[in-house]
Structure 1
């Protein structure tokens, strides 16, 4: 028996402690480690937040004395009540932030709510926080996540109260697993520092028929709930007749997505030449053969290795994404030797035919013809793409299609080339008559007036000044006809022998258009007209530079125009942002979780998208 060294309050455990330290070194070290874990798991005061020394830094002594180079533990005695309480209550101040973080993890990482019932996750949390009591699945789904949704919603409402203008993208989606339909509503705006901001306001459950009246009602309801009825500059949608009519019948200004229009132009152009369409269809059959046979994939992989080709799988095209057709043809061209060898080696056992030399040539010419469209599609699909890019990119594509080098290189698909040219002129020329596009192009320091025809420049100028007067209400409009000088001679250009040559050809078109000179205006002007002339006289910003950063640096040089730029440059170049939202919704509504109620799915998508954007500060 070890004496306590006294009785009553004078008694202590020092004798016991010394005995353990001298005679039971290993047991004493384990005891100290346990004390450290308890103190680190109880952050009730400043002392408990001190981090204990790592256990491996303590070397047990076999001689009964503490080594001179050992480190001292920082320990704190636990509270008395902690010794009797096995688990923290669910509403304990120590439990709440942990539960909040778990709910955030579920939303951001698209984890099922049932993860709180998983044995492995519970075991991990037991090791990290032994006193933490895991909440039930029902508590997380019905209490915690709705609370986070309301808190984040309030934060975004506060952000919106500080801005005067937002642009919207919207789309509709039906989940094939449970046939629930949703309407997306995402907003975009430029803050005072010209930083482009994005938020998802709603992925609203949509019941009833998908007609224009119902969609319009939902638009108005969402805008009213978020108090942005008078702040919406433009709503960008796809080309569906129902949603286009819904916006047209609403109080809002709407525009069609540029990429959806481009999709239709390319789809129709490839069908103009039946042999081109047949070559692509035959290529599709080859891809489908490999995608439906593991044995064929294995043989194909061995052939790729023998021929020292990249071990890439063939790409299947999707009818709603024209560029997937381009990627399919590009991969077929890359793997032409492997495909030909596989088909010749297995001609008796497979039911597919190789492409003829004529068909391979047609695919090669299609790739040259469509490569610039693929580059433009990727640029406009970017998160930071702006509506100001639509007219310049259209002009660049039109100029590319009429280049002599392109006509010579793509002679076998000349009908498709002409159909692309005519389709762009017919469908995309409407953008030049729409002020939201023309003014945005003018306000983009990469383009300004250089991508308009001489006849169009005075009209664009008048539209801008009139719009400024309308929005300012205290400025006089001054518009004057201007004459364009002759454009300079085209820049030198090499032939189209590779993808790099095609890339250079496309952006040579940009240089030719961007180098157009603007005439000087000599008549007296109003302050906004003078500022406009000074702005146009500045050299163009490089096409790879960010227009938002330029305006952030130059907003004090052009204070009147910067207010207009904040409005017109807030609109994205396409509705891709809303489509990506539904890709996230597809991850939420995975096959094992297809019975999730629409309101819970809306909360999870809202948190998944917006939490990282606000840096989890809400």
Structure 2
């Protein structure tokens, strides 16, 4: 430190003072002292850049373990949320960027991230989600299967429940499923997941696609099954589109030409510009999604004049549509528009409203304050649904506290005073009568009164939140509120499970096709459940 510290000048002056006297300096001996005084009174010279760097390193404090762990967790969440490859921590650009943010932070290796940080975050998140699911009184499950680009089969299970009068959804598991997709094997895995999460006795409905194996699997478990409405609509529309397959094939061929030919695509853009039309690129069809066919036909129709002109100018090797076929396309788009709107709405995880002959779903519609009786066109179906709701409300009576007197509730909810005042004979008689009246109350009669009063309430606006309405009315309709939690948690489609695989496809890519199924499981779970 003496080679760079500013006080080294003082040591040099102290050494040079006596030497001047010995060497026969011309001035008096006080001159040396005066020089020293002059040196001390001067400002300390500023250290050089090299000296500053050494001093910074010396004075710099190391990062605390708590801060290092906090940043490690944030880094692990980034990998789970954005599906970034672990190898990014070895990239020079990322390391330089991280160092510029905090040079004291030590970036963990990809091995530490994969084998330590991600598993720890998975376990902590799973425990947190499990605690929430444990409090649910009723749940709805959805499930689906998927094959990755490396031909590994996966199965996902999602859970939906009402939490503090809000709809909550979470992914329970997304795991490798290498067995044959028989009904028995699917049922076994579904039950295993349900038991792991302690919801096997809380399942009020399981929503899946229309495949025979998964439908039978749910029946084996004796759970209420309902087919995915979006998948059902997809089958209906696909079947209807078969009658116009030649026309659809012509449109597909033209669309593929514009996607394959750069000359054709550029000419289409210029033609659209000349005609004052928006530059719309034709959309391709996806065989598994009927609405992609609708989007293809709709986009094709929107650029009709430009497409006809471009195909003629470039002499494209495709068969043009006749005027009659153009009219068919226009009519089909008009017919499919409502189906597309329904599919988009139910894919947003909304409820069934008009399935009046299905027990669970008819009760769901009746307990939705936006619809109630309006959801039914058959009076008999409405009466039967209300009878089942009333019966369930009578069975699921609130806790015995509702039948206790206010004095009893206060005694249980707070510590009793040291000396209780003596009750007069008059009030003792009153308390006895009140207690007897509460004991004689008929849960069925109370349930009937709740249902009647509920039906007399004005309808809620269609765009309003029904769960918020129930939150405000829970104290008025305690029995119906309990029944409601087991009905309004039901989702309309298995889209939540399918959405898991859409994201999982971003994990397993060409650059990342060797990732293990266990790591896919952890990342998919974290991505779905991290808030």
Is TM > 0.5 for Structure 1 vs Structure 2?
yes
Task: Indicate which of 108, 113, 137 corresponds to 2:86.
Answer: 113
How has the CA–CA distance of structure 1 residues 445 and 30 changed in structure 2, closer, same or farther, with 3 Å as cutoff?
A: farther
SS in 2 for 1:568: coil
User: Which residue pairs with 2:380 in the alignment?
Assistant: 455
Counterpart check, 1:295 vs 2:263: yes
Counterpart check, 1:593 vs 2:512: yes
SS in 2 for 1:310: coil
CA distance in 2 between partners of 1:16 and 1:606 (Å): 68
Matches within 5 A, 1:371-520: 371-383=337-349, 385-386=350-351, 388-389=352-353, 391=354, 431-452=355-376, 453-472=378-397
CA distance in 1 between partners of 2:306 and 2:207 (Å): 44
User: Which residue pairs with 2:28 in the alignment?
Assistant: none
CA deviations over 1:377-407 (Å, ceiling 9, x no partner):
1110114x12x33x2xxxxxxxxxxxxxxxx
Task: Indicate which of 184, 187, 192 corresponds to 1:213.
Answer: 184
SS in 2 for 1:449: helix
Matches within 5 A, 1:278-427: 278-347=246-315, 350-383=316-349, 385-386=350-351, 388-389=352-353, 391=354
User: Which residue pairs with 2:409 in the alignment?
Assistant: none
CA deviations over 1:343-382 (Å, ceiling 9, x no partner):
12123xx211221111111111111111111111111011
How has the CA–CA distance of structure 1 residues 154 and 299 changed in structure 2, closer, same or farther, with 3 Å as cutoff?
A: same
How has the CA–CA distance of structure 1 residues 211 and 126 changed in structure 2, closer, same or farther, with 3 Å as cutoff?
A: same
Instruction: Return 560-569 or 125-134, whichever deviates more.
Output: 125-134
Query: Greater helix percent: which structure?
Result: 2
Matches within 5 A, 1:122-201: 122-175=95-148, 177-192=149-164, 194-201=165-172
How has the CA–CA distance of structure 1 residues 158 and 473 changed in structure 2, closer, same or farther, with 3 Å as cutoff?
A: closer
Q: CA deviation at 1:4?
A: 5.8
SS in 2 for 1:560: helix
Q: CA deviation at 1:446?
A: 1.4
- What TM-score results when the alignment is normalised by the length of structure 1? 0.69
Task: Indicate which of 212, 216, 220 corresponds to 1:241.
Answer: 212
Q: Which runs of 5+ in 2 are unaligned?
A: 12-38, 401-442
SS in 1 for 2:379: coil
SS in 1 for 2:135: coil
SS in 2 for 1:460: helix
CA deviations over 1:514-570 (Å, ceiling 9, x no partner):
xxxxxxxxxx98221221122222222222222222222222232221111111001
Counterpart check, 1:538 vs 2:457: yes
Matches within 5 A, 1:87-98: 92-98=65-71
Counterpart check, 1:263 vs 2:240: no
Q: CA deviation at 1:6?
A: 7.2
Q: Which runs of 5+ in 1 are unaligned?
A: 8-13, 40-76, 83-87, 392-430, 476-523, 613-618
How has the CA–CA distance of structure 1 residues 32 and 366 changed in structure 2, closer, same or farther, with 3 Å as cutoff?
A: same
CA distance in 1 between partners of 2:195 and 2:309 (Å): 63
CA distance in 2 between partners of 1:108 and 1:549 (Å): 30
CA distance in 2 between partners of 1:245 and 1:540 (Å): 38
Q: CA deviation at 1:159?
A: 1.1
Conserved? CA contact 2:88–2:94, under 8 Å: yes
Q: CA deviation at 1:277?
A: 3.0
CA distance in 1 between partners of 2:298 and 2:41 (Å): 79
How has the CA–CA distance of structure 1 residues 560 and 370 changed in structure 2, closer, same or farther, with 3 Å as cutoff?
A: same
Conserved? CA contact 1:3–1:16, under 8 Å: no
**Structural RMSD (CA):** 2.8
SS in 2 for 1:95: helix
Aligned residues: 457
How has the CA–CA distance of structure 1 residues 18 and 206 changed in structure 2, closer, same or farther, with 3 Å as cutoff?
A: farther
SS in 1 for 2:373: coil
How has the CA–CA distance of structure 1 residues 3 and 180 changed in structure 2, closer, same or farther, with 3 Å as cutoff?
A: closer
User: Which residue pairs with 1:577 in the alignment?
Assistant: 496
CA distance in 1 between partners of 2:290 and 2:42 (Å): 77
SS in 1 for 2:172: strand
CA distance in 2 between partners of 1:556 and 1:434 (Å): 29
Task: Indicate which of 509, 514, 524 corresponds to 1:605.
Answer: 524
Q: CA deviation at 1:202?
A: 0.6
How has the CA–CA distance of structure 1 residues 78 and 122 changed in structure 2, closer, same or farther, with 3 Å as cutoff?
A: closer
Q: Between the two structures, name the one with larger relative contact order (CA 8 Å, sep ≥ 6).
A: 2
User: Which residue pairs with 1:502 in the alignment?
Assistant: none
List, as ranges, runs of 4+ consecutive aligned residues in structure 1 with deviation greater than 6 Å: 14-17
Conserved? CA contact 1:326–1:370, under 8 Å: yes
CA distance in 1 between partners of 2:8 and 2:40 (Å): 6
How has the CA–CA distance of structure 1 residues 211 and 343 changed in structure 2, closer, same or farther, with 3 Å as cutoff?
A: same
Conserved? CA contact 1:173–1:582, under 8 Å: yes
SS in 2 for 1:111: coil
Q: CA deviation at 1:308?
A: 1.5
Higher radius of gyration, 1 or 2: 2
